[in-house]
Amino acid sequence: MKKNQHPETEAIRAQMQRTQYREHSSPIFMTSSFVFEDAEQARALFADEQDGNIYTRFSNPNHDELIKKLCILEHTEDGMALASGMAAMFCSMAAFLSAGDHLLASRSLFGSTHQIITKIFPRWGISHTYVDIDKPEEFEKNIRPNTKMIFVETPSNPSMDLIDIELLAALAQKHNLLLNVDNCFATPHVQNPALMGAHLVTHSATKFLDGQGRVIAGVVLGSKELIKEVRYFARHTGPALSPFNSWTLSKSLETFSLRMERHSENALELAQFIDKQTADVLNVKYPHLPSHPQYALAKRQMRTGGGLVTFELKGGLERAQRFLSHVEMMSFTANLGDTRSIVAHPASTTHSKLTEAERRAVGIENGTIRVSVGLEHISDILADIEKALSKSR
């Protein structure tokens, strides 16, 4: 691979070594295990003295190809492909946290990540402190002697709030902490946390990385040293990704940059349209919309605004329910990052396990609607939104 090529070019061209059959597209290695050449090779592989595949629970050529492409896109050394986005979030934290450790996290998190931090980790003696994502000065104030990691989503789900990654990276370096950034909403096309100092970058690959609503998967990316710890944890706890899903994701990445350009273009146009609907909408959040409270940070940290738009309808829950019932083209489903536009109501679905007070603390109101903007013609997306707004009044 030529060193002066762009990352998207490298990610398209990166492939595993061809077999004797001279295939152009990589094959799928649907095998649970791999045969040893002799007893010495088996011993050396299990002793970590030799690289090679042993068992698909923790290594497979399809996994390797996927991770190679993602490392190119995210500018990291190594990574681990896992069975779901939540497996990635869990392993990226649990591989490094022990009883007595403290986790510092932004309050604006995906609902299941919130459940891990507030319900599961306390059983193991791991404590946490939440900080408002729009109050970066609070992070250093809440670092304790036993703090081990900072975990954030930026932009946050679904409120589209941002945190300065370089600021957190400086704090992490100053206090010898790990900085773990969930980059699912932005994607490596929009921002690269590792280039800004993050130690770990996590993704629900189910979303934009697949981009077509086909697979469940997650990835953790970082330095070889840190991923060694993640791989050990995942190897012995078993959240394995199937070779078929790895192959599917690797093929998805060949169109990833093109898709993200269209997602971002459509999302910006939709945000601009909604921003004008003052009779129906209380506010709209999109990072590259000038009305966003952290617009200056977004322009510095994110190449585009990404593919998600969040807005709050006037009329609360009843208006939101009417709006959703009048959407025709767009899908109403618990996913995002698809070629097809998707509407969601976070308060009653993805963040329903939070109390109303917890939801409001992270900007989720009963009238909040999240739109994952797809690849349809923008005129059709706008027409669907406009019709639902009109009929729900």
Q: Which two tokens stand for residue 117?
A: 């931090």
pLDDT at 38 > cutoff 80 = yes
- Would you state the structure tokens that stand for residue 285, as one six-digit string? 């959040």
Domains of the chain listed by start with CATH number:
7-252 (3.40.640.10), 256-391 (3.90.1150.10)
Q: What residues have CB less than 8 Å from 153, skipping those under 6 apart?
A: 106, 108, 109, 110, 113, 181, 182, 184, 185
Point out the least confidently predicted range of 13-17, 253-257, 325-329. 13-17
Q: How far apart are CA 208 and CA 260, in angstroms?
A: 8
Q: What is the pTM of this model?
A: 0.94
Lowest-pLDDT choice from 130-134, 234-238, 285-289, 309-313 = 130-134
pLDDT band at 358 (very low <50, low <70, confident <90, very high): confident
278-305 in b/e form (b: 16+ CB < 10 A) is eebbebbbbbbbeebebbebbeebbebb
pLDDT tens-digit series, residues 165-174: 999 999 999 9
Q: What CA–CA distance (Å, rounded) separates 258 from 12?
A: 11
For the chain, what is the mean pLDDT?
95
Q: What SS3 state is found at 55?
A: strand
Residue % of the chain over a pLDDT of 70: 99
**Higher-confidence residue: 25 or 259?**
259
Q: Is the pLDDT of residue 163 over 60?
A: yes
Pairing mode, strands 200-204 and 218-222: antiparallel
Backbone angles phi, psi at 200, to 5 degrees: -130, 140
What is the reported pLDDT for 353? 79
Say which DSSP state 78 is in.
E
**For 331-354, what is the mean pLDDT?**
91
pLDDT at 4 over 80: no
**Which pLDDT value is given to residue 3?**
63
User: What pLDDT shows up at residue 20?
Assistant: 86
CA distances from 45 to 58, 61, 118, 327 (A): 13, 15, 39, 55
- Closest to 29 measured CA to CA, from 65, 69, 5: 65
